[in-house]
Amino acid sequence: MTALYIVSCVFDAFVIYLLFEDIFGKRKSSVNKWILMLALLAQQFISSLILNKTQSVYARLIVMIVGTFFLTLFYETDLVKRFFAMAVFIGFSIIAEGIAEVVMVLLGITKGEEEEIIALFLVEIFLLLLVLFKKIFTKREGNIPIRYQVGFLIVPVLSVVVINGMVSGQPTISWLFGVISLLILNMVSYYLLNTLTGYITEQSNKEQMERQIKTQKEKYEQLASSFIQGNRLIHDVNKHNQMIKKYLEESDYEEAINYIEKIDDSFAELYSSVNTGNLVVDSIIGRFKERLEQIGCAVELSVKINKNRKIMDDYDLVVVLGNVTDNIIEAVTCGEKKRSYVEMKLEMTHTSFVFYAKNSVSSEKKKEKNKWFHGLGLSNVKDTVENYGGTMLVSHTKESYETMIQVPIREE
């Protein structure tokens, strides 16, 4: 039994660690993982010694409150969050004990040494399950799909099934060792699964970064092309003027008009269909409109931008507009051309830059798209927008997708 109680203390410390890391996230800079682990174990062993010497409900509750609150001091957070975390753990502990008692009653288990071991085991497992439920369903881990996160629950649930099959046995050393092994197995399996999901998250972030670099390269190539074309036009203007002047001096008005029309055609080809004076907006949105027209997608575009007011750094503006327009292009190109459409507005108010887009979405594309990496570009957009104190809202139906971005403009 002593060995079981030791493992039980370690298991409780492990569960508290999971819960607090989920709620707080950031430990104090002076506290490393090993110091925290030692504090958790010390708190659990001291609390267990005190609790074993008293049967008073109030005394046991006070010990839990003081011990749990002490552990919150190792994290960077405010007082309200400390009390919240403490209340969650104590609440989960009480609920786990209640569920364990109900399960034992349903299984027809009576009081005894074997039953005490089973009760302790069930409390630990149900406590772990409650913490995992909270971790999984209230805070999604990076880009890991929910079906993989649910895998964390498999071992604890199967442990309850296994212990149910062991109920009829006698509390021998082998039987006790089996219970201890199950508790250790739960901790080890969580560690392995957590390591695996960490690797998956790292890979998804790598995928996102590669996509981002590719997008940035394409957009900056567009900007460079626009800049070169603009310089080329400026360089040729004087030559065009001299040629027109020559035709006019020779009274060859028809040739002068034809030459002017050729210049107009050249300007139409070289200049973006969007001309606000903001190079990033003109290049990306202009190219975006051209691509939509090439694929036969109906487009309604309104751009009202003051080039003298800065929305954000050019790099970040490329991230925002580049990713959003790429996602829209991807969505409309795989649907029926006659039904695809895009509505887009970019404008400035006295205090903000506002972007709104609504586009059609193919249901077939939704089924084919890898949900794992879906929205990685938009998540990067959201992070960028929030860095400027802005907000991003996204909503969708079966047939359309809407994106709205608002960024406060800081006058320089």
> Which tens digit of pLDDT belongs to each residue from 147-181?
666 666 676 776 766 666 555 555 555 556 666 67
Between residues 214 and 99, the one the model is more confident about: 99
Q: Has residue 235 been placed in a domain?
A: no
Q: 190, 208, 226 — which closes off a domain? A: 208
In the chain, what's the furthest Cα-to-Cα distance?
118
Say which residues have a Cβ less than 8 Å from residue 10's Cβ, sequence separation at least 6: 41, 44, 187
Residue 347: φ, ψ to 5°: -150, 165
Confidence of residue 342 (pLDDT cuts 50, 70, 90): very high
Rounded percentage of the chain residues whose pLDDT exceeds 70? 71
Q: Is the pLDDT of residue 375 over 80?
A: no
Dump pLDDT digits (tens) for 309-322.
Answer: 888 888 888 889 98
pLDDT of residue 355: 95
Say which residues have a Cβ less than 8 Å from residue 185's Cβ, sequence separation at least 6: 155, 159
Q: Is the pLDDT of residue 406 over 90?
A: yes
pLDDT of residue 131: 83
Between residues 321 and 109, the one the model is more confident about: 321
Is residue 187 domain-shared with residue 291, that is, in the same domain? no
Is residue 36 domain-shared with residue 168, that is, in the same domain? yes
Rounded percentage of the chain residues whose pLDDT exceeds 90? 8
Say which residues have a Cβ less than 8 Å from residue 411's Cβ, sequence separation at least 6: 309
pLDDT of residue 227: 62
Confidence of residue 184 (pLDDT cuts 50, 70, 90): confident
CB contact at 8 A, 409 and 353: yes
Is residue 383 domain-shared with residue 307, that is, in the same domain? yes
* Residue 39 buriedness (CB in 10 A; 0-12 / 13-18 / 19+): middle
Quote the tokens at residue 289: 């409109």
| Domain extent at residue 327 | 273-412
Q: Is the pLDDT of residue 403 over 90?
A: yes
Q: Has residue 139 been placed in a domain?
A: yes
Is residue 277 domain-shared with residue 143, that is, in the same domain? no
pLDDT of residue 236: 65
pLDDT of residue 319: 86
Q: Has residue 130 been placed in a domain?
A: yes
Between residues 380 and 272, the one the model is more confident about: 380
Query: How many Å apart are CA 163 and CA 182, to the nearest integer?
Result: 9
Number of domains in the chain: 2
Query: How many Å apart are CA 275 and CA 261, to the nearest integer?
Result: 20
Q: 173, 190, 208 — which closes off a domain? A: 208
Q: Has residue 59 been placed in a domain?
A: yes
Confidence of residue 402 (pLDDT cuts 50, 70, 90): very high
Q: 179, 208, 237 — which closes off a domain? A: 208
The 10 Å CB-count burial string (b at 16+, else e) for 349-369 is eeeebebbbbbbbbeeeeeee
CATH number of the domain enclosing 329: 3.30.565.10
For the four alpha carbons of 185, 33, 37 and 59, in that order, the dihedral sign comes to: negative
Is residue 197 domain-shared with residue 96, that is, in the same domain? yes
User: Average per-residue pLDDT in the chain?
Assistant: 77
pLDDT of residue 235: 59
Q: How many helices (H) and strands (E) does the chain have?
A: 13, 5
